[in-house]
Amino acid sequence: MSESHHSIDSFVHNTRERKLDGGLFELESERMLDINLNGEVWIKMGAMVAYTGQVTFVREKMLEQGLGNLLKKAVSGEGARLTKASGNGSVFCADTGKKITILQLQDESICVNGNDVLAFEMSLTNEIKMMRKMTAMLSGGLFNIRLTGSGLVAVTSHYDPMTLPVTPDQPVTTDPNATILWSGNLEPDFKTDIQLKSFFGRGSGESVQMEFRGDGFVVVQPFEEVYFQNKGS
């Protein structure tokens, strides 16, 4: 048999679920998250690809935290909503084949692009923060999620992420479409620069950049992730 061909038995053996050490969040592969559920957890709506055991899923609109119905209509895509998974079992999550990174927050705070949140523990406080300018909203991620406290969070990226330190002497400017997350103490500003139009982005908000100042870090991916609004939402 050719090396590129598999018998059914060998295929099942090579691709079956791995028995890991039983942590809450574990990686079946760099693109598949295994949540060993015994209680409740937040996952990105649409991210569940399979589950075992007794698990229920309840959609929860993240924008119910005081932003109003008008903004609910303005925000689109599955990244705008969470699903609460409850029960006992294994929940397998993925997001368009993106690479998954599991972070352990220890009384810390991070802000994550709403498109890049895959799952997080109920112990983390979450707050939805809208982008400051409509131009930035049209550029890609329409909002970000501030996660605070202690617990696990799974984030996604296209390919390997890169972390840039931010210091008072060295601010960092990024493309909003390539920005995944940043330290919670930073408040990015949005600016436009026509001269940089050909360097930052090729989408609708190609001249918009995020500028980070202070002490912290920002994480970017080697990919411009553009999400379009659903006209029917």
Q: How many residues does the chain have?
A: 233
Pairing of strands 162-166, 25-29: unpaired
- Three-state DSSP class for residue 196: helix
d(CA 117, CA 126): 11
Output the average pLDDT for the chain: 81
H helices of 53-140, in order, are 68-74, 134-139
- Asked if residue 232 has pLDDT above 50, the reply is no
- Are the CB atoms for 220 and 162 separated by under 8 Å? yes
Where in the chain are the domains?
20-220
Q: Which of 12, 8, 53 is nearest to 34 (CA)?
A: 53
d(CA 76, CA 55): 26
pLDDT digits (tens, 9 = 90+) for 12-49: 777 777 666 668 999 999 999 999 999 999 999 999 99
Q: What is the mean pLDDT of residues 160-173?
A: 95
Terminal C-alpha separation, the chain: 51
Into which CATH architecture does domain 20-220 fall?
4-Layer Sandwich (3.60)
- Burial of residue 171 (CB within 10 Å: 0-12, 13-18, 19+) is middle
pLDDT digits (tens, 9 = 90+) for 58-111: 987 544 455 443 344 344 343 457 899 999 999 999 999 999 999 999 999 999
